[in-house]
Structure 1
Amino acid sequence: MPVTYADSWTETLGDLEKRRHVSWGMGGPERLEKHHAKGKLDARARIDYLLDPGTFQEFGTLVGGDIAADAIVTGTGEIDGRPVLVGAEDFTTVAGTIAPGSNSKRYRLAELALRTKTPMIILLEGAGFRPTGDHYGRTPTDLLAQARCSGKIPMVSAVLGPSAGHGALVSPVCDFSVMSPHGAIFTAGPPVVKQSTGEEISKEDLGGPDIALASGVVHNVTDDDETALDAIRRYLSYFPSSAWSYPPSRRPDDSCEPRETPELLDIISRDNKYVYDARDVLDVVFDRPDWFEVQPEFGPAIICALAHLGGHPVAVVANQPLVLAGSIDADAADKAAHFITVADSFHLPLIFLTDNPGMLPGSGSEQGGVLRSGARMFAAQTAATTLKLHVTLRKAFGFGSMVMSLLGFDDQIATFAYPGATMGAMGAAAMGQATKAGEDFATVLREMELAASYSSAEHMGFDEMIDPRETRNVLLTALRRGLYSRQAAPEPVCRTTITP
């Protein structure tokens, strides 16, 4: 009989299995039961829910020794058949805190994501650095590795419980962050705040969903852990795995086909006095039923959405007439600037749907930094190297038109306008008041305003004036033509502008 050595492995493999079970057990049955009783998934259940079944392969399982996985579960897996890197802080183990070992795991996660050109996902619920006597001065920092990933691989985070200190910094560095109702994010938690400033405050009032949305620290809030993880899967479906590849197109179906859009005649009144919901326009123009809004509660005067047009992923920036009549305030401009930069980094074509009377005027708006934020949005869209398409639906005035890419010689692959669209430095009513024009001259100004689109068309101010019923088809034709220009391998975007 041939010699076998299987028996010699029994003790060694038994020891390995025992150590693994310590890690897999996380904080133990009592802490897990308490965690689940709050309606939350534990770290490993979150990973199982997020990834395609059976695809998770862990690394760093034994880091931390008796401290299970050193309070963060890390590994690789797949979403819709595409590889991802994922890390989940384990709040049931020493409150998900960070020590040198777990910090090294986090660094390794980002390092592998960049090396393998793979999206990185971080699921946050932790209390920041663990109070130990270890020296952190030369410990590899995960944030350094994460910063090196920026603009090169998609980075997404979910705040699924309290997240404080160093761990909380992960979220705003990511491209997209979603929060569950249990989430809270802050520089330091309530006990530290009380000790430092004397202020007594709950974690919800300090950094809960309402606060995080209002500040713009997180982009979207969902109903529970599961819907937060669903949002991550959906968000990533529009993106390539890295900046070294183009966004994946969907398999064609009936929703991808050309079609006229007569519904827009009922949605968009020709009279600027009547508002409409820009979301209804997106429902009609883009593939059905498919678009995903990013940061809907912050800066709602602009809608930023991921969509498909003819099966091709696109990023949509649309003025929202329901809010401030479409005027662009500081929050809306900041939101759009970030969204444009992310879309450009990963080669998503940008489609601007414009209907605004300009930047929001007034003392409050000026004190809020509307000019700086507007300049930030202008710099982002002007510096964008991806395909850009523009449609003026009804009006575009002043700097508000420039930030929405209604600007000649700005590398758009297509610019369109509806007949009667009003354009210029400012609207006729505002200009009449500013110049103290008499009634007769004010009438002339209004007539000039209405004729502005034809005057602009006569001087090639845009490529073509279109019937609203042609909107989807002209955008789809222009997009397909633009995509044909992609005849070389993509590379990460090199940015040279200084962000205002």
Structure 2
Amino acid sequence: MTNEQGWKETLEDLDLRRERSRAMGGPERLAKHRGKGKLDARARLDHLLDKGSFREFGTLVGGEIAADGIVAGSGLINGTPVMIGAEDFTTLAGSIGPGGNAKRYRLAELALRDRVPLVMLLEGAGFRPSGEHYGRTPTDLLAQAQCSGKVPMVGGLLGPSAGHGALVAPVCDWTIMSNQGAIFTAGPPVVKESTGEEISKEDLGGPSVAIASGVIHNLAENDEAVLDDIRRYLSYFPPSAWSYPASLPADEAAEARSTPELLDIVPRGNRRVYNMRAVLDVVFDDRGWFEVQPKFGQAMICALAHLGGHPVAVVANQPKVLAGSIDADAADKAAHFINVADSFHLPIVFLADNPGMLPGSRSEKTGVLRSGARMFAAQTAATTLKLHVTLRKAYGFGSMVMSLLGFDNQSATFAYPGATMGAMSAAALSKASHAAEDMEAKLRKAEVEASFRSAGHLGFDDLIHPEETRNALLAALQRGIYSRQAAAEPVSRTVITP
């Protein structure tokens, strides 16, 4: 018998076992799944990853249960290695068994060891009703928690996700859901058994619920759109906290240019409304920007963009919503976003135009002060480059959370001439103090002149013409990046988050 003949039977057995695993739940279940307009787990990997780059591990885990309900391995996204797992809903509803749990732990372990992003594509029913996974079996969430702030973590919700599997999403830095997604502690049958409540999976944890609660950051129409957005999101980040974000090649990087359009976009008077998104369109590179959590805390815009080819994070007030007042949801959103940006060394650009934190009984009941304190703690503890522009106004704590604060380690602070700032607006102070008419006029005049007085005492680095906005920020960023003369390291956090 030749060596080749000796190997033949063994290798045929391996091929048969691999084929069984790759068949997932079988033709009927796959056809039913695809009939709902969804991609199957392996098709999702093919769409997301650079062509031909996927390398699977744990293929034979689960034996007769194909891949034990989760396809796991490594691949490339935009040329960068990632670890990736895709729950297979066609195999026992994507539920987690002992082998699947071990694969999930291994994914996070390797992501941290190799310092590459971790991507989890979720559509599963949580742990199977079995005692096998209890005891001292390591859980994937322990390894995932160790990854936090060290490697980018992304969760994609492509169908219903319940129980333990659903916990993966909020532990990630950023999550995105398709219109067919849903996420909950326990599904409708368990809810009915436990509480007597009858409810659909859409009403329990569908897109409208998950986006409104802030559990999920972004929403996309279908599987393909979710996967495309994951690729785009990761394009702004380095592979890990041990490296800096990569700038675009010189031939793709946008050059300096003036921004006269801002004279038409930003009204001179504080009472007039405008859309801050139009400011981002003008200031940042033409390749566009990516908004994070656009339907939650809409008085604040959090976005990823390029400035002169350099990836940056943008935190901007939105005067179109609540006149730019910062409510609890907006502050919570910004605090998380700032932490993520800081963890991976993205410079943060603050564009301020707000009358302060949102007042009122409803706002107080939502804990606006705690949320504002959380945002303040996040931004003042941030060690990355910070750039600030006050466009029209920034009052009280609303200015501090937006990094308009002396001795706060900013790389640059700018304001437009005539920008108003202080503890509160002249109108609010006049009413609060019952000021006479002549005193109110003096307060309003002092408010208008505040930017010039502050500039005279170096309250910020300079007053700039709106036309100079992009160039002033770009010059400050290009200078600030020279601080990267030491190797990048994970951020060490000492602040206790409120």
User: TM-score of the superposition, structure 2-length normalised?
Assistant: 0.99
| 1:253 CA displacement | 3.9
Q: Specify which of 22, 42, 45 is matched with residue 44 of structure 1.
A: 42
| 1:105-254 matches, cutoff 5 A | 105-253=103-251
2:47 maps to amino acid: Y
What's 2:334 paired with? Answer: 336
CA distance in 2, matches of 1:96, 1:225: 16
CA distance in 1, matches of 2:139, 2:483: 40
| 1:124 CA displacement | 0.2
Q: Give the 3-state SS of the residue equivalent to 2:15 in structure 1.
A: helix
1:92 aligns with 2:90: yes
CA distance in 2, matches of 1:443, 1:288: 43
CA distance in 2, matches of 1:195, 1:108: 34
CA distance in 2, matches of 1:368, 1:132: 40
* 1:256-301 alpha-carbon deviations (Å, 9 max, x no partner): 1000000000000101121110000000000013200000000000
- Contact 1:423/1:452 (CA < 8 Å) preserved in 2? yes
1:397 aligns with 2:399: no
| 1:138 CA displacement | 1.3
- Contact 1:283/1:289 (CA < 8 Å) preserved in 2? no
1:358 maps to amino acid: G
Structure 1's unaligned 5+ residue stretches are: none
Pairwise CA RMSD of aligned residues? 0.8
User: TM-score of the superposition, structure 1-length normalised?
Assistant: 0.99
What's 1:496 paired with? Answer: 494
Q: Give the 3-state SS of the residue equivalent to 1:178 in structure 2.
A: strand
| 1:386-425 matches, cutoff 5 A | 386-425=384-423
| 1:205 CA displacement | 0.2
CA distance in 2, matches of 1:5, 1:167: 45
CA distance in 2, matches of 1:235, 1:134: 37
Q: Give the 3-state SS of the residue equivalent to 2:393 in structure 1.
A: strand
| 1:4 CA displacement | 4.7
CA distance in 2, matches of 1:215, 1:129: 24
CA distance in 1, matches of 2:131, 2:450: 70
What's 1:463 paired with? Answer: 461
1:81 maps to amino acid: G
What's 2:300 paired with? Answer: 302
| 1:440 CA displacement | 1.1
1:56 aligns with 2:70: no
* 1:383-435 alpha-carbon deviations (Å, 9 max, x no partner): 00000000000000000000000000000010000000000000010000000
Q: Give the 3-state SS of the residue equivalent to 1:396 in structure 2.
A: strand
* 1:70-128 alpha-carbon deviations (Å, 9 max, x no partner): 00000000011110110000000000000111000000000000000000000000000
- Contact 2:416/2:464 (CA < 8 Å) preserved in 1? yes
Q: Give the 3-state SS of the residue equivalent to 1:85 in structure 2.
A: strand
- Contact 1:457/1:464 (CA < 8 Å) preserved in 2? yes
1:449 maps to amino acid: E
- Contact 1:304/1:336 (CA < 8 Å) preserved in 2? yes
1:111 maps to amino acid: E
Q: Give the 3-state SS of the residue equivalent to 1:53 in structure 2.
A: coil
- Contact 2:388/2:414 (CA < 8 Å) preserved in 1? yes
CA distance in 2, matches of 1:324, 1:499: 26
CA distance in 2, matches of 1:392, 1:212: 33
CA distance in 1, matches of 2:252, 2:452: 35
Q: Specify which of 360, 374, 377 is matched with residue 375 of structure 2.
A: 377
Percent sequence identity is 74
What's 2:73 paired with? Answer: 75
Q: How many residues are aligned here?
A: 498
- Contact 1:178/1:221 (CA < 8 Å) preserved in 2? yes
What's 2:483 paired with? Answer: 485
What's 2:14 paired with? Answer: 16
* 1:187-243 alpha-carbon deviations (Å, 9 max, x no partner): 000000001111000000000000000000000000100000000000000000000
Q: Give the 3-state SS of the residue equivalent to 1:9 in structure 2.
A: helix
1:102 maps to amino acid: G
| 1:438 CA displacement | 1.2
* 1:340-380 alpha-carbon deviations (Å, 9 max, x no partner): 00000000000000000000000000010000000000000
- Contact 2:97/2:133 (CA < 8 Å) preserved in 1? no
- Contact 2:252/2:309 (CA < 8 Å) preserved in 1? no
Q: Specify which of 409, 428, 431 is matched with residue 429 of structure 2.
A: 431
1:114 maps to amino acid: L
Q: Give the 3-state SS of the residue equivalent to 2:290 in structure 1.
A: strand
| 1:439 CA displacement | 1.2
Q: Give the 3-state SS of the residue equivalent to 1:179 in structure 2.
A: strand
CA distance in 2, matches of 1:290, 1:137: 49
Q: Specify which of 281, 284, 287 is matched with residue 286 of structure 1.
A: 284
Structure 2's unaligned 5+ residue stretches are: none
- Contact 2:418/2:448 (CA < 8 Å) preserved in 1? yes
2:358 maps to amino acid: L
